[in-house]
């Protein structure tokens, strides 16, 4: 049993079964034993690989996208550039390097990295040590100075805890995690149905609600509506809200039950882009997309960037660049965790932008062309 599992057992013994979102929150962010708090999970040796770790082109293009947004905001003298959940800091380092072609933008930005993990903060500090612009770290958006704002979030929303409700005879009951007699955790449902949920669905259906993601999105969209700016959200998920439990846990690239090894495996949920978009619109911002990651990256110049890099590359590096393009934009099914076929990253991942009403439609969001 993991240290965190012992701790969760004790909490359940004293307080009773806990909602799934609290369990997921403890797994990822427990201050001592949480998955992200205790390690750097990225890269081939870790549990997963993210787009900025696949190729420098990803962060470079996102950086140039942000510089373009800034100019379409009429180049405010100061703009907050915020990254949510920046992992190893690779995306931001690549973005800032690429933006050396736009020195006025670099002169205007104040960077804030919103990160809860001390281990990853350390990695980010190393990655940005020589970046040449002021960088601060924050635990949440509320610490970011108010003003014109550009937010980047790659694979952030999928790491936020979700609530699960099951359709029972009497309505919708929240999924609760309890202690089993054999030392394992078990999922049950609350005996009090949730009166706020009125949707109809066959018995046994599961409704997944990303309440914390909604709160983040509402706050981002409110700030953008008030002060001007944009947010770019890239994540894996679905474009339409639908029923079902999308939570998955990965341990060294292999799927396991999220209840199996708390604190030792990555736990994520698909992002419901439709509901995030509704949260943004309800707070007064405009929504573009979602489009597939392939479509977004192609529209903002991935192939041009790849060609430019290849002109300076040796043959082996050229092959790597082509492979990276293929990985970032491939839409054909490929072997995912545990050998299960999943759509290529280019189709599984989506990009969505949130803008204030005075910013023109951002680049990359023409209807899916790939
Ligand atoms: N964007 C990075 C990392 C994605 S993994 C990349 O693409 O490589 C998720 C990141 O979000 C990690 O850095 C994790 O520590 C951070 N994170 C998770 N929950 C968070 C929260 N509630 N607040 C801030 N950061 C969080």
Query: What radius of gyration, in Å, describes the C-alpha atoms of the chain?
Result: 21
Residue 39: pLDDT band by 50, 70, 90 thresholds?
A: confident
Return the structure tokens found at 288: 């573009």
Residue 23: pLDDT band by 50, 70, 90 thresholds?
A: very high
85 lines ligand 1 (CB under 6 A): yes
pLDDT, one tens digit per residue, over 95-105 is 999 999 999 99
pLDDT at 337: 61
Q: Distance between CA 152 and CA 232 in Å, rounded?
A: 5
pLDDT, one tens digit per residue, over 251-288 is 877 889 999 999 999 999 999 999 999 999 999 999 99
Which residue puts its alpha carbon closest to atom 6 of ligand 1?
87
Residue 305 lies in a domain: yes
pLDDT, one tens digit per residue, over 59-89 is 999 999 999 999 999 999 999 999 999 999 9
Surface-to-core class of residue 164, CB atoms within 10 Å of its CB (0-12 exposed, 13-18 middle, 19+ buried): buried
pLDDT at 44: 64
pLDDT at 368: 63
Return the structure tokens found at 299: 């529209």
- Answer yes or no: do 261 and 339 share one domain: yes
∠ Cα 340 253 275 (to 5°): 75
- Answer yes or no: do 320 and 172 share one domain: no
The atom number, within ligand 1, closest to the CA of 42 reads 8
Residues pairing with 136 in the sheet: 112
154 lines ligand 1 (CB under 6 A): yes
Residue 199 lies in a domain: yes
Count of domains forming the chain: 2
The set of residues, in sequence order, having a beta carbon less than 8 Å from that of 308 and lying 6+ positions away, is none
- Answer yes or no: do 152 and 108 share one domain: yes
- Answer yes or no: do 154 and 122 share one domain: yes
Whether 168 has a pLDDT exceeding 60, the answer reads yes
348 lines ligand 1 (CB under 6 A): no
Whether 341 has a pLDDT exceeding 80, the answer reads no
Higher-scoring residue by pLDDT: 269, 42: 269
* Ligand 1 binding pocket mutation candidate from 43, 85, 91 (most atoms within 8 A of CB): 85
pLDDT, one tens digit per residue, over 130-160 is 999 999 999 999 999 999 999 999 999 999 9
- Answer yes or no: do 151 and 228 share one domain: yes
pLDDT, one tens digit per residue, over 280-317 is 999 999 999 999 999 999 999 999 999 999 999 999 99
- Centre of ligand 1 to C-alpha 139, Å, is 11
∠ Cα 188 270 187 (to 5°): 10
Which residue puts its alpha carbon closest to atom 14 of ligand 1?
85
- Answer yes or no: do 243 and 268 share one domain: yes
115 lines ligand 1 (CB under 6 A): yes
Q: Distance between CA 29 and CA 20 in Å, rounded?
A: 14
Q: How many residues does the chain have?
A: 370
Which residue puts its alpha carbon closest to atom 10 of ligand 1?
85
CB contact at 8 A, 176 and 190: yes
- Answer yes or no: do 201 and 222 share one domain: no
Residue 102 lies in a domain: yes
* Nearest to 160, CA basis, from 250, 266, 281: 266
CB contact at 8 A, 37 and 116: yes
pLDDT at 78: 98
Task: Give the pTM.
Answer: 0.95
pLDDT at 38: 85
Residue 18: pLDDT band by 50, 70, 90 thresholds?
A: very high
- Answer yes or no: do 340 and 263 share one domain: yes
Enclosing domain of residue 184: 3-33+163-208
- Answer yes or no: do 168 and 202 share one domain: yes
pLDDT at 242: 85
């Amino acid at each position: 049993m993991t240290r965190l599992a012992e701790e969760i057992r004790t909490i359940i013994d004293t307080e009773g079964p806990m909602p799934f979102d609290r369990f997921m929150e403890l797994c990822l962010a427990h201050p001592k034993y949480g998955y992200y708090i205790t390690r750097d999970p990225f890269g081939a040796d870790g549990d997963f690989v993210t787009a900025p770790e696949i190729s420098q082109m990803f962060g470079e293009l996102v950086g140039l996208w942000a510089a373009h947004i800034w100019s379409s905001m009429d180049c405010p003298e100061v703009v907050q550039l915020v990254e949510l959940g920046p992992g190893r800091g690779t995306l931001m380092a690549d973005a800032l390097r690429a933006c050396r072609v736009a020195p006025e933008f670099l002169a205007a930005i104040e960077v804030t990295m919103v990160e809860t993990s001390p281990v990853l903060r350390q990695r980010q500090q190393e990655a940005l040590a020589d970046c040449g612009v002021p960088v601060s770290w924050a635990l949440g958006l509320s610490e970011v100075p108010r003003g014109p704002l550009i937010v980047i979030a790659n694979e952030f929303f999928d790491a936020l805890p979700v609530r699960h409700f099951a359709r029972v005879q009497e309505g919708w009951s929240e999924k609760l995690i309890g202690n089993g007699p054999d030392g394992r955790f078990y999922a049950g449902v609350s005996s009090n149905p949730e009166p706020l949920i009125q949707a109809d669905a066959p018995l046994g259906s599961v409704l997944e609600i990303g309440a914390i993601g909604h709160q983040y999105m509402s706050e981002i969209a409110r700030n953008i509506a008030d002060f001007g700016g944009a947010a770019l959200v890239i994540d894996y998920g679905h474009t339409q809200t639908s029923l079902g439990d999308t939570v998955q846990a990965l341990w060294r690239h292999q799927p396991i039950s999220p209840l199996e090894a708390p604190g030792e495996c990555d736990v994520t949920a698909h992002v419901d882009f439709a509901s995030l978009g509704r949260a943004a619109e309800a707070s007064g911002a405009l929504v573009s997309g979602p489009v597939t990651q392939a479509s977004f990256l192609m529209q903002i110049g991935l192939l041009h960037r790849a060609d430019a890099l290849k002109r300076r590359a040796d043959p082996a590096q050229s092959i790597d660049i082509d492979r990276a393009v293929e990985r970032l934009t491939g839409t054909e099914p490929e072997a995912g965790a545990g050998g299960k076929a999943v759509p290529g990253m280019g189709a599984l991942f989506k990009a969505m932008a949130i803008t204030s009403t005075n910013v023109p439609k951002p680049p990359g969001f023409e209807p899916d062309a790939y």
